[in-house]
Amino acid sequence: MRGWEACLSSSGRRDLLLRLLAGSRSVNERKSRKYTTKMAAPGGEAQTTAHVGKRRKRPRRYWEQTSKKYNSGGKSSDGAKQKAKKRRGDRRKKRKGGLSGEVESEDPKLCEQTQETGKKDNSGEKSSDGPKQKAKRRRVDRRKKRKGNLTVKVVSEDTSKKDNDGEKSVDGTKDTADENATKRSDAKFISGKVDPFPGEAPIPEERLRKFQRGNKFVVPEEIRSKLKDTLAKSQEAADLAQTQAARYDLLLTEDAGFLEGDEGEDTCTISQDDIAEAVDITSGSKYFNLRLTQFGPYRLDYSRTGRHLLLAGRRGHVTCIEWQTKNLMCEMNVMETVKDIKWLHSEAMFAVAQKKWLYIYDSNGTELHCIKKFNDVLRMQFLPYHFLLATASATGFLQYLDVSVGKEVAAINTKLGRLDVMAQNPYNAVIHLGHPNGTVSLWSPNQKEPLVKMLCHRGGVRSLTVDRTGTYMVTSGLDRKLKVYDIRAFKPLNSYFLPAGASCLSLSQRGLLSASTGDIVQVYRDVWGSGPMTKPYMAHRVRGTVWGVGYCPFEDVLGVGHAEGFTSMIVPGAGEPNFDALDMNPYRSTKQRQEWEVKALLEKVQPELISLDPGLLGKVDKATFEQKHKERVETLGYDPLAVEKFKPRMRKRGRSAAGAVEKRKKKVAHEDQRDVIRKSVKERMEKEKEKKRKDSAKEQLGEKTALDRFKK
Amino acid sequence: MRILSLRALITSRGMKVKVLCRNPDDYVRETTRDIQRVPRNYDPTIHPFEVSREYTRALNATKLERIFAKPFVASLDGHRDGINCLAKHAKTLSVVLSGACDGEVKIWNLSKRECMRTIQAHEGFVRGICSRFCGSSFFTVGDDKTVKQWNMEPPGRGLQEEPLNTILGKAVYTGIDHHQTEGTFATCGQTVDIWDEQRSSPIRSFSWGVDSFSCVRYNPVETELLASCASDRSIILYDMRESAPLKKIIMQLRSNTLCWNPMEAYNFTCSNEDYNLYTYDMRRLDVPVTVHMDHVSAVLDVDYSPTGKEFVSASFDKTIRIFPKNSGHSREVYHTKRMQHVICVKWSADNKYILSGSDEMNIRLWKANASEKLGLLTPREKAALNYNQKLRDKFQHHPQVRRIARHRHLPRDLFKQKRELREMKEARRRKAQNVRKHSKPGSVPLVTEKEKHVVSVVE
């Protein structure tokens, strides 16, 4: 099964090379061709679902094991490599043949046809929207036009390939650039034709917009030329960065998953077993159940890389699993009620909210800290870029623990009762709390009062979650409603009625919403889309009442903790397909993790910077003097610039009368008004002069007559 | 069967499904000798808090810059009296000449940080020293009223140090400078004299009712032009080809030395007794282009960096300061506990080092950029430094960053003096304001800081 996987992915690489070289084939066409040529029957042994308690011999690494399987045919790794090389060579030969053949036989009609099929394939995945389609068509047209060059390109490619027989790496932009350059120059040299599309290929507007930061700054005409230059230069640099980032999007290797039913079939009727059967075995093994009936119900947390899973049963069972390999890292019973569990910044440590206090354990299950300042914690959230663990307690306290230095950053008495509904906004690190009176309050550690308080439900709030762009918040309440809010404008977008109400909500990286009602987990798609959402995307019934749900980052997996244990569900299209290894790398080694940890600690964002707008620091502070002064007065408690009004003491007479003293103190009377008075006097004089002059002119003109009024 | 996209499967029921399934081989290096694979995704949504994180990085970069700011490189000791003048070798980076108050001249090798040669050149002070443009010989002038030319090469073993030429003058010479390309040089003393190397009497002699000069400098671009500082508070410009001086500015206090900007050679900066430095444009002498303030005592010497973007000044207040050429305040101040009044200062020709000669007989070698790492840098180091520099520039106006970047430690006395000067200045300003307020409008004109210090310009 691994072999099949590897084969596909290497074909994916080759495919990328093709895309870079020819740049003429549409995505779908490519895919289809590959499918027909490369589709191989998945083979290999089936994996049995492993129980956590059953401890297997631990492989050194998750991927080592699989690669061994892949190499099992070859005797040594060298042999395998040789084979791979040979295979690659074969493939290259084949491709060259195929490509040139295609070029010869290619006519616009055929191309159009393949395009059409491709479109159909995609139509289920995405709702067809006007501009996208248009852009696509435009792209296709462009490609068709460009096809004229293809023969030339292939020839040049051949020559360059002959020169260096070794295989080329494809995962660099530089290579593409080089090849482009050779292509261009060769094209001129061989056929003598002029490139009809000189310059760089244009980038679609949409993709550019994805990488746009802020609005473009319009340089006013009247500013100094030096400043103008600086602004122009910085704008240029920003544009370059934007286009390069947008161009890099082409090189992303993975595509998101999807699930489509047969015609007329709802995807929500497709069972997990069917999906697990349909997909390859590695993916199929991601659907599994852990029957843990003794200590449930369970809450769970995936680590930020998505490789590790924490399970905490309410009756004290705490386990830590590398869930893909089913490798148990630690298992223990803390012999206390466990309310919540959360990974800290890496998979080396996690926090457990126990009956009374907050505990921190390492991944071997060793107790590192018992933090008695944090008591009766019900829910926790970890803010990874701030290294803050936010806890909400039964006593109504919202507390922040800086886990990098071990200090309490803030303790806020919310005065809103028991806090058992909590979520974080990943966009701005603001904590959202849901309350029994139906309000949701937003908190930052810098303020004793909530940043925002919004009434969301008629009954109490049962659960809430925020999407990763920080735009939408989904809440569910005791009024059995599921509501979607735009939290930039604090406006409700959609409201749905669920017959049983949703107890647990979770949003995936790509915006799939999972809502659990009783023992059923439903997954919704396009929750904040324009059209009304009628049916769930997927549904699954687990064995017991659901207690916690969470998506695994970078995987199409939804973890469900319930009364009878834990269920890992496959939800195609949930996870972000392309991770950024400098941010979060699921395949990182220990060394890489350590390096990352140091870097992350160095750029730890201070808790003071948490606010509703995370980009505030990059904006110009336009606070006027009045505002600043007002703030100053507020902080000082008095107005430092206020001039006290003179209150005369009532004295009868003499030099030391209060008024006289004041007058003497002032030395020069109305000193501050002198300029104004002088000016006004001058103006008055001038006016009078003018008036006089006019009068005299009138007198000179003589008596007024009735006809004067017609004069201008 | 319909054709489907990559890794999507058709089941018997007819549904289509594709699940994320990565091949670890695509993400993990094959052998430990490989570099790690780092797939990137620049999507802004998976990089939250980019502004705050960048700000944190900028703050760290600024702090690191201050941590690594260790400008002092070496001290060259060996002189037996205060250093009075310094000169760079015209051709070799690592050679520096110094003249002391006891008439001794030493030639130093900077890379070895040792003295290569010692010459008892004069009786009394060595007043000026300069290297010939070809670097084969150098000239010294001293209190013994002589101009001596010396060979740069040391004499053979067992031979005495003898000057190539000695010119006996009538009065004490206080400064010397050599022409950029020709065999002529200029000295100053009671007059400014232009000499031909082959002759023992000056070919031209300028005086403009002045009793003595302290400094003369050739313009590095318009090589026939000269500027000199005179003790009657004036700065005089000359053309070597003419018989009379060109122009004269009279300032409120005396200028000690001046230096031409090597890149924009119409600008020169002079160090003044009134604690300031003034940059003038030769074409418009009535108002200085910039007044550079920060020293708390008389400024004794000034030298430009070879890029012409910055200059260094030495002061009687025992500090060296580095000014950007168009900034009113210094970007850097160097001092040590043991450094006394700094008499002379030079910026090395590779733009990396600063040399200072001070009263307590030491020549000190400083880095021009205090936090710079010396030696070869790997490309990654270079990239990191550039990135940090850019970050600092980007966030330089944020209060925290600015506070850290601007902070310099000053000796207590200096700190107090600075505060005192500021108070005095403020008091003067306030007084002028009051006078203006209580006078007839227009009778007390507003004089800017730049205009204040120039008395007159004489053509």
Residues in chain A: 712
For the cut 90, the answer to whether the pLDDT of residue B138 exceeds it is yes
Give A-chain residues touching B52 at CB under 8 angstroms.
Answer: 385, 605-606, 609, 614, 617
- pLDDT band at residue A134, thresholds of 50, 70 and 90? low
Residue A349: partners with Cβ closer than 8 Å, 6 or more residues away = A343, A360, A361, A362, A363, A368, A403
For the cut 80, the answer to whether the pLDDT of residue A322 exceeds it is yes
Tally of structural domains, chain A: 1
What integer best gives the mean pLDDT of chain B?
A: 92
* pLDDT given for residue A189 in this prediction: 59
Instruction: Indicate yes or no: CB of A255 within 8 angstroms of CB of B6.
Output: yes
- The region of weakest confidence among A2-6, B216-220, B222-226, B432-436 is A2-6
- The region of weakest confidence among A246-255, A302-311, A656-665, B445-454 is A656-665
| Residue A361 near residue A371, CB atoms below 8 Å | no
| Residue A692 near residue A685, CB atoms below 8 Å | no
Tokens matching residue B28: 């993990």
Residue B2: partners with Cβ closer than 8 Å, 6 or more residues away = A117, A121, B10
Give A-chain residues touching B63 at CB under 8 angstroms.
Answer: none
* pLDDT given for residue A358 in this prediction: 96
Q: Which residue, among B12, B28, B32, B49, would best test binding to A if mutated, counting the most A CBs under 10 Å from its CB?
A: B49
For the cut 70, the answer to whether the pLDDT of residue A38 exceeds it is no
| Residue B347 near residue B320, CB atoms below 8 Å | no
Half-sphere exposure of A547 (CA within 13 A, CB side): 26
Residue B211: partners with Cβ closer than 8 Å, 6 or more residues away = B190, B231, B232
Give B-chain residues touching A36 at CB under 8 angstroms.
Answer: 3
* pLDDT given for residue A707 in this prediction: 77
| Residue A310 near residue A343, CB atoms below 8 Å | yes
- What number is the average pLDDT over the span B163-173? 93
pLDDT tens digits, residue range B270-282?
Answer: 999 999 999 999 9
pLDDT above 70: percentage of residues in chain A = 71
For the cut 70, the answer to whether the pLDDT of residue A160 exceeds it is no
Instruction: Indicate yes or no: CB of A603 within 8 angstroms of CB of B23.
Output: no
Distance CA A421, CA A435 (A): 7
The reply to whether A308 falls in a domain is yes
* pLDDT given for residue A493 in this prediction: 92
Amino acid at A501: G
Instruction: Give the number of other CB atoms < 10 A from CB of residue A391.
Output: 31
| Residue B251 near residue B233, CB atoms below 8 Å | yes
Give B-chain residues touching A283 at CB under 8 angstroms.
Answer: 19-21
- What number is the average pLDDT over the span A697-701? 76
Residue A102: partners with Cβ closer than 8 Å, 6 or more residues away = none
Instruction: Indicate yes or no: CB of B40 within 8 angstroms of CB of A602.
Output: no
Closest chain B residue to the Cα of A573, Cα to Cα:
B19
Q: Residue B81: exposed, middle, or buried by beta-carbon count in 10 A (0-12, 13-18, 19+)? A: middle
Instruction: Indicate yes or no: CB of B49 within 8 angstroms of CB of A429.
Output: yes
- The region of weakest confidence among A331-345, A521-535, B103-117, B300-314 is A521-535
pLDDT tens digits, residue range A541-600?
Answer: 999 999 999 999 999 999 999 999 999 999 999 999 999 999 999 999 999 999 999 999
Which residue is listed with tokens 């309410």?
A: A314
| Residue A440 near residue A473, CB atoms below 8 Å | yes
Amino acid at A545: T
For the cut 50, the answer to whether the pLDDT of residue A25 exceeds it is no
Distance CA B159, CA B325 (A): 47
The reply to whether A384 falls in a domain is yes
Reading phi first (left if > 0) and then psi (alpha if -120 to 50, else beta), residue A710 is in: alpha
Distance CA B388, CA B61 (A): 6
**CA-CA-CA-CA dihedral for A549, A550, A555, A557, to nearest 10:** 0
The reply to whether A218 falls in a domain is no
Instruction: Indicate yes or no: CB of A554 within 8 angstroms of CB of B2.
Output: no
For the cut 90, the answer to whether the pLDDT of residue A291 exceeds it is yes
For the cut 90, the answer to whether the pLDDT of residue A177 exceeds it is no
The distance from CA A131 to its chain's CA centroid, rounded to whole angstroms, is 24
- The region of weakest confidence among A156-170, A350-364, A661-675 is A156-170
Interface contacts (A, B; CB < 8 Å): 206
Backbone angles phi, psi at A673, to 5 degrees: -95, 0
Distance CA A306, CA A509 (A): 12
The reply to whether A577 falls in a domain is yes
| Residue B233 near residue B274, CB atoms below 8 Å | no
* pLDDT given for residue A360 in this prediction: 96
Residue B72: partners with Cβ closer than 8 Å, 6 or more residues away = B334, B336, B364, B365, B366, B367
Long-range contacts from B70-73, C-beta under 8 angstroms, 24+ separation:
B70/B367, B70/B370, B70/B371, B71/B332, B71/B334, B71/B366, B71/B367, B71/B370, B72/B334, B72/B336, B72/B364, B72/B365, B72/B366, B72/B367, B73/B353, B73/B365, B73/B366, B73/B367, B73/B374
Residue numbers of B between 328 and 387 with CB closer than 8 Å to A = none
* pLDDT given for residue A36 in this prediction: 33
pLDDT, greater one: B209 or A324: A324
- pLDDT band at residue A318, thresholds of 50, 70 and 90? very high
- What number is the average pLDDT over the span B326-353? 95
* pLDDT given for residue A557 in this prediction: 95
Backbone angles phi, psi at B22, to 5 degrees: -95, 145
Cα–Cα nearest to A347, from A576, A131, A519, A586: A586
Which residues in A336-460 belong to E strands, given as ranges?
338-343, 349-354, 357-362, 367-375, 377-383, 388-393, 397-402, 407-413, 421-424, 431-434, 439-443, 452-455
Cα–Cα nearest to A389, from A435, A364, A358: A358
Residue A323: partners with Cβ closer than 8 Å, 6 or more residues away = A307, A308, A309, A552, A559, A568
A611 SS3 class: coil
Tokens matching residue B350: 């590779």
- pLDDT band at residue A31, thresholds of 50, 70 and 90? very low
Closest chain B residue to the Cα of A41, Cα to Cα:
B9
- pLDDT band at residue A674, thresholds of 50, 70 and 90? confident
Instruction: Indicate yes or no: CB of B13 within 8 angstroms of CB of A31.
Output: no
Distance CA B438, CA B433 (A): 9
Backbone angles phi, psi at B240, to 5 degrees: -60, -30
CATH number at residue A557: 2.130.10.10
Distance CA A384, CA A349 (A): 13
- The region of weakest confidence among A360-369, A544-553, B3-12, B266-275 is B3-12
Residue B411: partners with Cβ closer than 8 Å, 6 or more residues away = B318, B335, B337
Q: In Å, how far is B335's CA from the nearest CA of chain A?
A: 32
Residue numbers of B between 48 and 67 with CB closer than 8 Å to A = 48-53, 55-57, 60
Distance CA A573, CA B17 (A): 10
* pLDDT given for residue A390 in this prediction: 97
Give B-chain residues touching A26 at CB under 8 angstroms.
Answer: none
pLDDT, greater one: A185 or A637: A637
Give A-chain residues touching B40 at CB under 8 angstroms.
Answer: 248, 580-582
Q: Which residue, among B1, B2, B7, would best test binding to A if mutated, counting the most A CBs under 10 Å from its CB?
A: B7
Residue A235, H or E segment? helix A225-248
Distance CA B140, CA B214 (A): 15
Select from A35, A66, A606 the Cβ nearest to the Cβ of B3: A35
| Residue A412 near residue A374, CB atoms below 8 Å | no
Tokens matching residue A389: 């663990």
Which residue is listed with tokens 């036989």?
A: A105
* pLDDT given for residue A98 in this prediction: 38
- pLDDT band at residue B92, thresholds of 50, 70 and 90? very high
For the cut 70, the answer to whether the pLDDT of residue A228 exceeds it is yes
Distance CA A376, CA A392 (A): 8
The CATH architecture of the domain made up of B72-372 is 7 Propeller (2.130)
The reply to whether A688 falls in a domain is no
The reply to whether A369 falls in a domain is yes
For the cut 50, the answer to whether the pLDDT of residue B173 exceeds it is yes
pLDDT, greater one: A101 or A307: A307
| Residue A559 near residue A566, CB atoms below 8 Å | yes
Backbone angles phi, psi at A3, to 5 degrees: -55, -40
| Residue B179 near residue B222, CB atoms below 8 Å | no
Instruction: Indicate yes or no: CB of A589 within 8 angstroms of CB of B48.
Output: no
Residue A13, H or E segment? helix A2-22
What integer best gives the mean pLDDT of chain A?
A: 77
- The region of weakest confidence among A165-179, A352-366, B396-410 is A165-179
| Residue B319 near residue B414, CB atoms below 8 Å | yes
Distance CA B290, CA B127 (A): 29
Q: Residue A384: exposed, middle, or buried by beta-carbon count in 10 A (0-12, 13-18, 19+)? A: buried
* pLDDT given for residue A132 in this prediction: 52
* pLDDT given for residue A652 in this prediction: 62
For the cut 80, the answer to whether the pLDDT of residue A117 exceeds it is no
Instruction: Indicate yes or no: CB of A263 within 8 angstroms of CB of B16.
Output: no
Strand order in the sheet with B16-18: A258-260, B16-18, B9-10
For the cut 60, the answer to whether the pLDDT of residue B304 exceeds it is yes
- The region of weakest confidence among A74-88, A573-587, B252-266 is A74-88
Q: Provide the residue ranges of all domains of chain B, joining segments of one domain with +.
A: 72-372
Residue A145: partners with Cβ closer than 8 Å, 6 or more residues away = A196, A197
Host domain of residue A285: 272-592
* pLDDT given for residue A567 in this prediction: 95
Cα–Cα nearest to B70, from B332, B275, B255, B307: B332
Select from B18, B25, B40 the Cβ nearest to the Cβ of A580: B40
The reply to whether A155 falls in a domain is no
Q: In Å, how far is B438's CA from the nearest CA of chain A?
A: 10
The reply to whether A516 falls in a domain is yes
Instruction: Indicate yes or no: CB of B21 within 8 angstroms of CB of A279.
Output: yes
pLDDT above 90: percentage of residues in chain A = 50
Which residues in B267-372 belong to E strands, given as ranges?
267-272, 276-281, 290-293, 299-304, 310-315, 320-324, 332-334, 342-347, 353-358, 362-367
* pLDDT given for residue A620 in this prediction: 78
Give A-chain residues touching B60 at CB under 8 angstroms.
Answer: 602-603
Distance CA B250, CA B237 (A): 12
Q: What DSSP character marks residue A160?
A: H
Which residue is listed with tokens 């012409």?
A: B308
- pLDDT band at residue A217, thresholds of 50, 70 and 90? confident
pLDDT, greater one: A146 or A445: A445
* pLDDT given for residue A198 in this prediction: 84
Long-range contacts from A625-632, C-beta under 8 angstroms, 24+ separation:
none
* pLDDT given for residue A181 in this prediction: 46
For the cut 90, the answer to whether the pLDDT of residue A619 exceeds it is no
Give B-chain residues touching A275 at CB under 8 angstroms.
Answer: 17, 19
- pLDDT band at residue A625, thresholds of 50, 70 and 90? confident
The DSSP bridge pattern shows strands B342-347 and B320-324 to be unpaired
Instruction: Give the number of other CB atoms < 10 A from CB of residue A133.
Output: 13
Select from A67, A575, A614 the Cβ nearest to the Cβ of B49: A614
